[in-house]
Structure 1
Amino acid sequence: MYRLSAEQQAFVDRVRVLAEAEIRPHAERVDEQSSFPKEALAALGRAGYLGLTIAPEHGGLGQGLRVACAVLEELAQRCASTAMVSLMHLCGIACYGTATNKTADLLRAAAKGEHLSTLAFSEPGSRSHFWSPVSQVVATNRHVRLSAEKSWVTSAGVADGYVVSSRCMSATNPTDTILYLALRGDEGIDVTGPWHGLGLRGNASAPMTLRNVAFDERRALCAPGQGLEMMLTVVLPVFLLGSAAIAVGLAEAAVAATQQHLTAKRLEHLGQSLADIPTLRARLAQMRIETDRARAHLASVIDAVEQPGPMTQLLILESKAAAAETAVAVTETGMRACGGAAFSKHLGLERLFRDARAGIVMAPTTDQLHDFIGRALCGMEPFQ
């Protein structure tokens, strides 16, 4: 349904084989122990998939958003925490790609599986309004320095590179921002709390503190005042479409688990399978329809990104809102269809149910996306 070429489909098929062998076996433990999926990331790194969207000139695989979304869906069907860590890495790598004169060595390292990236945008003072940091850099003799509290940093303490947002020195409003690259090991950067989420329990989305961290011009990923534009034009399309793909993957996994349960389990006293109950078949059908609808919508948005038009920005905003709500609805229907077996954690559906709910509260939240879309439709500026 992603309309991949034969070569692209073969690529995604190889990812599926790896995910089944190297990622699925660890998913339950990652969730139960809230542990970072290090085995999964190591496997992806060995296979070169941390260089998925990196240009071949830097050793990467040179794939675009279409293949990236198909890959993220495959990962999410096995372990959504691994998929989210991978997505945030792709977002960081997209930022690196705008400043290759500064990041070429890191891109090559990522392509070899030796560098994991992520974003550090959200702050307690502006909460889910990630585009409006309250932190602000200050000038020193040879550097700028930043002190900031970052709320939810995927791969916190594990990632090697962190794309950090801040207000510029001369900022006159909250969106006068700049993005810097912080590296693990920089003096003044610390993880300051644990991560114990309802879902996506392995993505280490913990708070981090930057205390007087020094940056020079070589660490600036954009010009002063251009941070918002970079967030909206470079990061947001990757994040929103990637999040949609993860949501579709969760929904697809729920369909598969429900179908397996209904066809395999029996009512022995009636000589029937659960699939013989019309209401359960109807629920499964509803799940299939909604999942296919969400994937088709995502594919149409990818088309619009590859061939931009006046509706492209609106469609990008729609992608996460639509798919995230679909994943919530489909996983809930699966829980209802499979009853006590699902509720008692025998089918893996309960993990999908919890993981799906992360998508509706991760910034930009579904409510925010609805507001952005409504504002755009009414001729208003979406981001303020």
Structure 2
Amino acid sequence: MVGLYQLSEEHEALREAVRALAEKEIAPHAAEVDEQERYPVEARDALARSGFNAVHVPEEYDGQGADAVAACIVIEEVARVDASASLIPAVNKLGTQPILLSGSEEVKKLVLPSIASGEASASYALSEREAGSDTASMRTRALRDGDTWVLNGTKAWITNAGESTWYTVMAVTDPNAEKKANGISAFAVHKDDPGFTVGPKERKLGIKGSPTCEIYLENCVIPAERIIGAPGTGLKTALRTLDHTRPTIGAQAVGIAQGALDASLAYVKDRKQFGQRIADFQGVQFMLADMGMKIEAARHLVYTSAAASERGDKRAGFIASAAKTYASDIAMEVTTDAVQLFGGAGYTKDFPVERMMRDAKITQIYEGTNQIQRMVMARALLKG
């Protein structure tokens, strides 16, 4: 039966287009981007030129209006050659999803068209040094002052900070709220707003082409209408956002794992030991089979998760956590096995698998550690 449980022709055509772009415009720079710890400007420009930098933006805001599965395919195919570059479309979605979910028409029109065109990009500022998984304990404050809000605080671990134009910032607006979570609001902050500065880059294990910094808000003044949703609804919006964006981290993880498997297949077919290709040894074949099987399972879970978030499925939160957790665990496992298959060569920077192994690790940590994801899943199961 045609069309029975398969991606549409449009989705497959999108994959082909993004893969061709990634191979030609992004892959050649990936090792240098990692080595020099520099922003992948070639990837940024190529994605913007082709309209793949933020495919999720709706058509009414000059975007492509692509569905959640399409957004995952873009991220997966870019991550297959360079995980750092895949954070351009991924974080554009993360930074703008709160606006799509809760923003006023005014905020949507202000921010989204520039993201869609590639003229601007977005980041997401939820975490703080002392409020990581425990987001409700954040200390950043926003005080209403006439027709402005004044923000004070420091946000940590902000992906693409310094490169992004817009920042979706969560801040406490009612420190006396009975439930801390109900005292937090979301705001659209622009890099040129007075009192906004970006800190130095973190020195990281992987995704070195994507800057991660603190952002400082020191009496940062923004217009009152740049609040996202009603006061006190910011954390609810932030958590709803993650149901939509955790699948994109799963997609990034699948892409990294697929890139490592592709590199491994080429290597084992070429490398000879004991008079034969190492691809002909059963032990190697079993490793490859397990890698391929697990990637395929992770990919289906990610797409199922993206589709659930798109249609508002009541199980979307559980499936998003499952997809992010499973895919990231598999990415770590597959990239570790890839390094093993390359032997001593895999431990050197002459081949991409050591970079992929370093890049894979973060997928188990950001957008909620996999331990937090297991708590989210267990709660969902116990609630029934």
Q: TM-score, normalised by structure 2?
A: 0.93
Which residue, out of 145, 148, 153, partners 1:143? Answer: 148
Q: Is this contact kept in 1: 2:96–2:168, CA < 8 A?
A: no
Rounded to whole Å, the distance in 1 between the matches of 2:93 and 2:367 is 17
Counterpart secondary structure, 2:298: helix
Task: Name the residue aligned to 2:116.
Answer: 111
Rounded to whole Å, the distance in 1 between the matches of 2:14 and 2:353 is 28
Rounded to whole Å, the distance in 2 between the matches of 1:374 and 1:259 is 37
Counterpart secondary structure, 2:229: coil
Which residue, out of 257, 271, 284, partners 1:251? Answer: 257
Q: Is this contact kept in 2: 1:251–1:330, CA < 8 A?
A: yes
Task: Name the residue aligned to 2:42.
Answer: 39
State the one-letter code of the partner of 1:351: R
1:353 aligns with 2:365: no
Cα RMSD (Å): 1.9
Rounded to whole Å, the distance in 1 between the matches of 2:5 and 2:129 is 37
Task: Name the residue aligned to 1:8.
Answer: 11
Task: Name the residue aligned to 2:21.
Answer: 18
Instruction: Report how many aligned residue pairs link the two structures.
Output: 377
Rounded to whole Å, the distance in 2 between the matches of 1:246 and 1:146 is 33
State the one-letter code of the partner of 2:222: F
Task: Name the residue aligned to 2:200.
Answer: 193
CA deviation string 1:176-225 (max 9, x = no partner): 21110111111111122222210111110111111111123221111111
CA deviation string 1:113-158 (max 9, x = no partner): 1011110111112123345422221233442211111111111111
- Higher mean Cα deviation, 8-17 or 158-167? 8-17
Rounded to whole Å, the distance in 1 between the matches of 2:342 and 2:176 is 54
CA deviation string 1:267-321 (max 9, x = no partner): 2xx3211112221111111111111111122222234334444433211221111
Runs of at least 4 residues off by over 6 Å: none
Flag the 1:318–1:109 CA change in 2: closer, same or farther, 3 A: same
The equivalences for 1:223-238 within 5 A come to: 223-233=230-240, 235-238=241-244
Rounded to whole Å, the distance in 1 between the matches of 2:41 and 2:310 is 33
Flag the 1:182–1:303 CA change in 2: closer, same or farther, 3 A: closer
Task: Name the residue aligned to 1:312.
Answer: 316
CA deviation string 1:224-283 (max 9, x = no partner): 1111221122x212320000000000111111111111001112xx32111122211111
Which residue, out of 187, 211, 218, partners 2:218? Answer: 211
Flag the 1:163–1:294 CA change in 2: closer, same or farther, 3 A: same
1:63 aligns with 2:66: yes
Gaps of 5+ in 2: none
State the one-letter code of the partner of 1:237: D
Counterpart secondary structure, 1:280: helix
Rounded to whole Å, the distance in 2 between the matches of 1:301 and 1:36 is 30
Which residue, out of 58, 63, 79, partners 1:76? Answer: 79
Flag the 1:137–1:307 CA change in 2: closer, same or farther, 3 A: closer
Task: Name the residue aligned to 1:101.
Answer: 106
Flag the 1:39–1:257 CA change in 2: closer, same or farther, 3 A: same
- Higher mean Cα deviation, 223-232 or 70-79? 223-232
Counterpart secondary structure, 2:189: strand
Q: How much does 1:364 deviate?
A: 0.5
Rounded to whole Å, the distance in 2 between the matches of 1:300 and 1:143 is 42
The equivalences for 1:109-188 within 5 A come to: 109-130=114-135, 132-169=137-174, 171-172=176-177, 173-175=179-181, 176-188=183-195
The equivalences for 1:316-331 within 5 A come to: 316-331=320-335
Q: How much does 1:3 deviate?
A: 3.2
Task: Name the residue aligned to 1:221.
Answer: 228
Q: Name the % identity.
A: 28
- Higher mean Cα deviation, 96-105 or 241-250? 96-105
State the one-letter code of the partner of 1:305: S
Q: Is this contact kept in 2: 1:195–1:201, CA < 8 A?
A: no
Rounded to whole Å, the distance in 1 between the matches of 2:5 and 2:254 is 12
Rounded to whole Å, the distance in 1 between the matches of 2:22 and 2:164 is 21
Rounded to whole Å, the distance in 2 between the matches of 1:105 and 1:310 is 31
Q: Is this contact kept in 1: 2:124–2:168, CA < 8 A?
A: yes
- Higher mean Cα deviation, 243-252 or 189-198? 189-198
Q: Is this contact kept in 1: 2:186–2:234, CA < 8 A?
A: yes
Q: How much does 1:109 deviate?
A: 1.8
Q: Is this contact kept in 2: 1:80–1:250, CA < 8 A?
A: yes
CA deviation string 1:51-85 (max 9, x = no partner): 41112222211101010011110010011011123
Q: Is this contact kept in 2: 1:154–1:205, CA < 8 A?
A: yes
State the one-letter code of the partner of 1:129: D
Flag the 1:373–1:51 CA change in 2: closer, same or farther, 3 A: closer
